[in-house]
Every structure is written in C-alpha cells, then in structure tokens.
Amino acid sequence: MVDLLYFLGCPVWACPAWTGSVFRADARRSDWLRQYSQNFPTVEGNSSFYAIPTVDVARRWAAEAASGFQFALKFPRVISHDKSLTACDAELSAFLAVLEVLGAADRLGPSFLQLPAHFGPDGLPRLERFLDQLPGGFPYAVEVRHPAFFAGGGDERAFDDLLAARSIDRVLFDSRALYSAPPTDDCEAESQRRKPRVPWRKTVTGKRPLVRFVGRDNVDTTVPWLAEWAPIVAGWISTGLRPFFFTHAPDDAFAPAMARRFHEELRRVSPAIPPLPALLGERPEPGLRQRELF
C-alpha cells in the first residue's frame, strides 16, 4: 500500500460483495483481512463495540494485516452505553490489553469512544475522569451525539476544550449526504432510521482528525459532500496532521467505491498525494502477464 499521507478506509473489512474487487475472486474468508489491508491502510473496528476481542484474536489481526495498517477500534458498548463510563474497570482492562497488542505491532490507529445521544453536558465530568484514567501513548477519539454539543455554545466549547487539552480527537460525523433525499431502497431506509442526523463539524482537537462520512449507495450522488471535505482534509495534511477518513454506505458493498471517489476528489485539490493502486481483485495475478507472453 502506498503512503497516502492520510488514512482512508471502510467501516468493515469483511464484506462478501467485495469478492472480485477488494478481494481476489478465489479469496477465502480467512484471506479477507490480509487482502483488505493491501487496498486500504485502515478500517473501523466496529465489531469491538459489540464484543471485546481476545488478545489472541488481536495477535491474529496484527499478523494478518499489512505493514503500517491501522485498526481504529470502537470502545465496547458495555463501557460507553451499558455502564456509562463507570464501574467498568474489568471491561476497560480487557479492551486495553487488545490495544497493547496492536500498538506493539504498529497496527493501532485511534480508538474511538462513541457516546449515546442521551450523554449530555452533565456527563462531561464523568467523561473527563474516564479519559484521564486511559494510558498515554495510545491515540483516542470521542464521538458525541447530544444536541448541546452541536449548538455552538458553552457546552460545545467545553467538550472541545476537554479533548484538546488531552490531544484527543473529536470524531467528525457527517450524514448530510445520507439525508439529502428520500431513501431509494431498503438499505438506505434502514440507514436513515439508524444513523444520527447531527450537524457536521470540522473541529480539530488532536493530531488525527477522524471523519466518519455516511453517503448513499449511488456514489455519484455523494460527490458534492466528498468534494467539500477534500480541501479540508488536504489542509490538515499540509499542516502535518494525519487524518483518518472512513466512508460508510447504507450497503457496505459500495463503501470502497466511495472511499476511492473521495481520494480522487482529494487529489484534485492536492495532486502531490499519490494515486491509489487498482484494487487487489482487479489486478492481474502475479506472473500472469509473463505467461501470456508465451
């Protein structure tokens, strides 16, 4: 994988519909992470939200992923939602053990804490205590959904200042494209039902701005919003930041195409950023060209 100067990825690495594009046509499921990591330098680890991986699983992930690949794991929901950042020492220790394995293998991107919509300004002292008990040396990000943190007032400033003081990134969630028109299929309808509709932000509070962009299954319809993000991300790169940009589609089948379209828009703004190679499943098999010559 070429050095893109930023990290571009999808919300999952396992999608059967990617066979023949992200994955080679003959890839087995056990090959998917290795082959995904040859196409993209990062992935959202959403599975860790539902169940804490074991250390052995983390070791396997680290061994299978390409050199320099970065996992952006989501904090488990038992920590963020069920226990609301309190009395969760055992679960936090188990999750941090996974981060240690990935960090030691140089496979660790920002782990992000997604807080529920009811977590409002009165929870900031609790969030501060939780963040201050996290070990240094790991990158973190926090996603909020309560309206007060998008109102542009003192509560939003207090949240941003809390993160900036610790060099923790604010997750920048953008679902404008998703809600730009009525759904065209069941996947888009379900996505509009589930995904938050919060104002978009481009606030930088750390060194790794993390964007979660939610578009439509028709990638062409997302271009105006992707094009709007391109100069922002290019500006971050030019100042030495190392952004992470994740593209979500209602149907995961379309997420890689959206990611690559964003990269095209970014290169229009910053041509020095190298182009993406062809997807692994679309490249000739090694040695195929030589065999064809004979």
- Mean pLDDT of all residues in 138-162: 98
CB-facing half-sphere around the CA of 208: CA atoms within 13 A: 22
Residue environment code for 162-180, b if the CB has 16+ CB neighbours within 10 A, otherwise e: bbeebebbbbbbbbbbbee
**In a domain? residue 164:** yes
Q: What is the DSSP letter of 247?
A: E
What rounded mean pLDDT belongs to the chain?
95
- Mean pLDDT of all residues in 281-293: 61
pLDDT band at 292 (very low <50, low <70, confident <90, very high): very low
pLDDT for res 223? 97
- Mean pLDDT of all residues in 69-76: 98
d(CA 81, CA 118): 10
d(CA 29, CA 89): 34
Please give the model's pTM, rounded to 2 decimal places: 0.95
**In a domain? residue 293:** no
CATH code of residue 86:
3.20.20.410
**In a domain? residue 99:** yes
The type of residue at 79 is I
What backbone phi and psi angles, to 5 degrees, belong to 8?
-120, 130
Q: Is the pLDDT of residue 228 over 60?
A: yes
pLDDT for res 291? 40
Q: Is the pLDDT of residue 289 over 50?
A: no
pLDDT for res 287? 60
pLDDT for res 22? 97
**In a domain? residue 71:** yes
CB count, 10 Å around CB of 152? 10
State the DSSP H helix or E strand holding residue 182, giving kind and residue range, or none if neither: none
Q: Is the pLDDT of residue 290 over 50?
A: no
pLDDT for res 1? 60
pLDDT for res 283? 87
pLDDT for res 217? 96
State the DSSP H helix or E strand holding residue 70, giving kind and residue range, or none if neither: strand 70-73
**In a domain? residue 290:** no
pLDDT for res 2? 62
Q: Is the pLDDT of residue 294 over 90?
A: no
Asked whether the beta carbons of 68 and 105 are under 8 A apart, the reply is no
Residue 290 class from Cβ within 10 Å (0-12 exposed, 13-18 middle, 19+ buried)?
Answer: exposed
- Tokens 């226990």, residue located: 83
Q: What is the DSSP string of 97-144?
A: HHHHHHHHTT-B--EEEE--TT--GGGHHHHHHHHHTSPTTS-EEEE-
**In a domain? residue 28:** yes
Q: Is the pLDDT of residue 201 over 80?
A: yes
CB count, 10 Å around CB of 62? 19
**Tens digits of per-residue pLDDT, 33-66?**
999 999 999 999 999 999 999 999 999 999 999 9
**Tens digits of per-residue pLDDT, 85-99?**
999 999 999 999 999
Percent above pLDDT 70 for the chain: 96
Q: Is the pLDDT of residue 71 over 90?
A: yes
pLDDT band at 286 (very low <50, low <70, confident <90, very high): low
**In a domain? residue 245:** yes
Structural domain including 179 reads 7-285
Q: Is the pLDDT of residue 72 over 90?
A: yes
**In a domain? residue 294:** no
pLDDT for res 4? 77
Residue environment code for 71-89, b if the CB has 16+ CB neighbours within 10 A, otherwise e: bbbbbbbbbbbeebbeebe
Count of structural domains within the chain: 1
The region, left, alpha or beta by phi > 0 then psi within -120 to 50, assigned to residue 190 is alpha
pLDDT for res 284? 82
pLDDT for res 197? 95
Asked whether the beta carbons of 46 and 12 are under 8 A apart, the reply is yes
